[in-house]
A and B are shown apart, each in its own frame.
Chain A
């Protein structure tokens, strides 16, 4: 029980309080407190796995957390904490910068659904049961739809509808896949069948191969839709660009990881059987192609947040490659570096949009002149997210490339290298236009350093991840 308490208490209470009509300033404080406490309590919860060498920590029959899950749990809560503690500043500035004033009711709703969204994401990583995994993923869709829907204008509605429909259909396929895996487990392996991950892993070799393979395909497709793999990514740019900056930060920095984590759960299962051909070559090549396609789609971009959305797709592709290579820690390393940099970028983009009062890239010029600090942070984030040394993402991508080169996935390596180059060039074209030159019209500087607090923290994190032995501690087991 204390497991449910420590995981659910703070988000639920926070959501309840923020939905209730206190003064908005109080609500903002409550939310920050709630999310930070949530992160801490989750950390305490998985501390045995993180600190001692306990391979897996079981809470109930269907809830347990293993090492990789714990890592992702930490990451998710960190991302959520960063985004949500930046959110109040963001909404305050919305008002300050003469953008349209946000009714407190909407903001309250935003906080409530954001907290529940975080809760759902937390359950993704502690669910030790494919069915519950599916349930929590679907729950994340519903709550995050609330975030995308935030600004309630036509674009937001359209984005939300597409997000909801495409993802629900995809998720439905994932459900079918889950059922197929369940069916495969009933064939002799486990009497009455089971969806429990540990049991399935335990008797992986006895699972009925045909059903398992079908199930894998459906799950890959379903969760892939949620993760935004190339032809299924269609909802992603819309949702990311329409959601308010903190929400898009969470979508890109946490939600995609959840979907990919679900894919990893299934892959991990199929890898143990003797027909694991499909779960190696398919994700690797598909991931590389996704990265390439994302890179090409980055070339002609008009929206500053769509830009980062596509770069998220690129990184999803890379993570998919890592999953296909069957190395959870590389997958996590990439996710970690991507999330940290990408959250910083989305939050900064939020500030930039507030400065220039537009998302249109062709209107945003001369950031270095408008705000040197912001420009510097933006440049660092962009360099980090495109995998430039000395930032963390470089190390992760390099490890992934090296592993796939050693796994004789030459084609994938080639495609990935091209994709990375294209992404870098495309991003640097757009970013350099944002940074250099002079703004097209007078920009009023408002607000203190507070709006740069979280982004600069995250930028420091990327540098630390790149230049210190921190990743070493993670990747050691590889």
Chain B
């Protein structure tokens, strides 16, 4: 059992599956069940293969006929790639469980043939990226990943908005890969090799390629201020796709950062500080905008931005600590980053699955139309709630464990860093993190309360049914994983920290302890709950009556808090960031006392989009228009171009 087996087993099987889907799609009978089963089987197979390979690191180079043009495909299977491909396998497996039940409600909207072909290619390319050991393999797989995911985002391409989102995503990801190519080529001209392990970022002139690479990765990961594409792409895509994109694909850049920059020994303070700033800002920015969203999946997308920010922050702390020669802190931060990748991957797919279940049962993702699902879809509610608790890092779930590690690394660096400025920054970051955590709580309490509790706000939500069994199973699977990783965090942390991530071939792998008594805590909480329930509530006489309405008669859903009104006090506080505006108009005779119609409209402007990105695009298209003016159609003009070019060339000839 070695890298070759994993490579062939996974990649080739996925390729074959894609081929099968392609062939079947011409007969117009692609069975979602069969395809999902294939997906589950392959994911489970690769997972078991991964587990059976032990801890050694293999490198595998494809033999001569299987080349990418000129270059061999080289793979490296070590702790890092094991971790990520295991996560990918888990997510793919649950997606396979989830798909058949979910895709049914897209019947007629999307062509399943195209969907499955691009889906399998997507899965293949993601495995390829996290297994790749050199720049060529990496960039090839990376581009396939971008193209196939864009195709998946555009699955339902009859809507104009979906097309727009897919194009924005394509553009963003192409810019990212352009920057990456620049960085890779630069590194190649510096180090004369395509293999990541030969690249050394410690040298002074490697700072510029490092900058290009980190920018490219940040764009793909949706880090502030490059996160614009993310809130477009996730709502547009089917839930399965957004689950994988948000759960794994935006972690792939993190993998790249660790594999290339961290293991390449990056220590340039400029880059590290840049990563630190970007990470903390996007953690805050993401959660802040998540708070004021009303589309369920858009909100989840923003929360992904927050979590990616946290991960990047942890990475930056690790690099800082390594540069300051504090290996203990560095190991804690590194473990925190990767553990958070794992947790967020699982949790976010869980949340997107639940959102998808809601979408296909209540036929809407708009929080203004949801509500009261708790009584109709208890399973979905339960899994969504647990996912939300975990992403709010509520103990004893896994979200808390990784958040605690991040806190701990900051705490330690506050104590151990030499300079007072560093201490101060670390403290301020602790403060920021706690604020981010509280905002996340606010956001997800809003979703849970407005989306699932209370009265239904629309007819569709009124008549939603519980999702199908497959969906429930997939959610349950992920819930168990989340809870397990939370309760047995100490083992997970020790395992991850021993994957020797900071430097791939260090002799003594670090060990990070997770001292919190999670199992005891969970046990205590559970048993206390049980006791209290049995002692007090079980035996109490219960009378069902309507909610208190101040004697006005039946409450309507209008009197319930909407998602906007719930978020309003917080949005007010952060008005300058959000450009938060409410303009309310009251119609009616003597408006204050006898209102007939009251409309309140909340406006939130994304400054980056309106102030930076759109103007830049406008400038580019202006240049293009100007250039097109040259093609004016007059042949005399064209001949003049020839003559003037001749003159220019002759002048150049005299110069050179």
So, do A and B actually touch in the complex, CB under 8 Å?
Answer: yes
A237 in contact with B631 (CB, 8 Å): yes
- A116 at interface (Cβ–Cβ under 8 A)? no
A278 in contact with B635 (CB, 8 Å): no
B178 in contact with A420 (CB, 8 Å): yes
Contact of A417 among B157, B182, B625, B656 (CB under 8 A): B182
- A51 at interface (Cβ–Cβ under 8 A)? no
Known contacts A165-B635, A401-B181, A282 near B656 by CB under 8 Å: yes
Known contacts A277-B656, A300-B621, A231 near B68 by CB under 8 Å: no
13 pairs, A vs B, C-beta closer than 8 Å: A161-B635, A169-B639, A169-B642, A217-B652, A234-B630, A300-B621, A389-B140, A394-B140, A395-B69, A417-B182, A435-B157, A469-B69, A471-B70
B143's closest neighbor in chain A, by CB? A389
Instruction: Identify the A interface with B (CB < 8 A).
Output: 161-162, 165-166, 169-170, 173, 213-214, 217-218, 220-221, 225, 231-232, 234-235, 237, 277-278, 281-282, 293, 296-297, 299-300, 368, 372, 383, 388-390, 392, 394-396, 398-399, 401-402, 405-406, 408, 413-414, 417-418, 420-422, 424-425, 428-429, 432-433, 435-438, 465-472, 475
Contact of B642 among A225, A433, A436, A467 (CB under 8 A): A225
B102 to chain A, nearest CB (A): 22
User: Which of chain A's residues have a CB closer than 8 A to the CB of B631?
Assistant: 234, 237, 297
- B533 at interface (Cβ–Cβ under 8 A)? no
Known contacts A281-B656, A414-B182, A475-B70, A297 near B154 by CB under 8 Å: no
User: Which of chain B's residues have a CB closer than 8 A to the CB of A471?
Assistant: 69-70
B-side binding surface: helix, strand, loop or mixed? Answer: helix
- B277 at interface (Cβ–Cβ under 8 A)? no
Known contacts A217-B649, A232-B641, A405 near B186 by CB under 8 Å: yes
A213 in contact with B653 (CB, 8 Å): yes
User: Which of chain B's residues have a CB closer than 8 A to the CB of A166?
Assistant: 635, 638-639, 642
A405 in contact with B642 (CB, 8 Å): no
B171 in contact with A383 (CB, 8 Å): no
**Cα–Cα, bound, A237→B139 (Å):** 32
A432 in contact with B154 (CB, 8 Å): yes
Contact of B630 among A218, A231, A389, A405 (CB under 8 A): A231
User: Which of chain B's residues have a CB closer than 8 A to the CB of A469?
Assistant: 64-67, 69-70
Task: List B residues 141-172 near A (Cβ within 8 Å).
Answer: 143-144, 147, 154, 157-158, 160, 163, 166-167, 170-171
Known contacts A389-B68, A418-B178, A406 near B189 by CB under 8 Å: yes
Instruction: Identify the B interface with A (CB < 8 A).
Output: 25, 64-71, 111, 113-114, 136, 139-140, 143-144, 147, 154, 157-158, 160, 163, 166-167, 170-171, 174-175, 178, 181-182, 185-186, 188-189, 620-621, 623-625, 627-628, 630-631, 635, 637-639, 641-642, 644-646, 649-650, 652-653, 656
**Cα–Cα, bound, A220→B642 (Å):** 12
A467 in contact with B68 (CB, 8 Å): yes
A231 in contact with B182 (CB, 8 Å): no
Known contacts A166-B638, A468-B67, A469-B64, A300 near B624 by CB under 8 Å: yes
A291 to chain B, nearest CB (A): 13
User: Which of chain B's residues have a CB closer than 8 A to the CB of A402?
Assistant: 185, 188-189
A472 in contact with B157 (CB, 8 Å): no
B624 in contact with A221 (CB, 8 Å): no
A231 to chain B, nearest CB (A): 5
B525 to chain A, nearest CB (A): 51
Known contacts A221-B649, A237-B631, A392 near B638 by CB under 8 Å: no
User: Which of chain A's residues have a CB closer than 8 A to the CB of B157?
Assistant: 368, 435-437
User: Which of chain A's residues have a CB closer than 8 A to the CB of B158?
Assistant: 436-438
**Cα–Cα, bound, A165→B634 (Å):** 12
A380 to chain B, nearest CB (A): 11
A162 in contact with B182 (CB, 8 Å): no
A170's closest neighbor in chain B, by CB? B642
Contact of A468 among B65, B160, B635, B639 (CB under 8 A): B65
B128 to chain A, nearest CB (A): 10
A297 in contact with B653 (CB, 8 Å): no
Contact of B69 among A162, A232, A293, A392 (CB under 8 A): A392
Known contacts A217-B653, A231-B630, A436-B163, A421 near B646 by CB under 8 Å: no
Given contacts A169-B642, A395-B71, A401-B185, 10 further A-B contacts (CB under 8 A): A162-B638, A232-B642, A398-B136, A402-B185, A406-B189, A420-B178, A428-B174, A465-B69, A468-B67, A469-B66
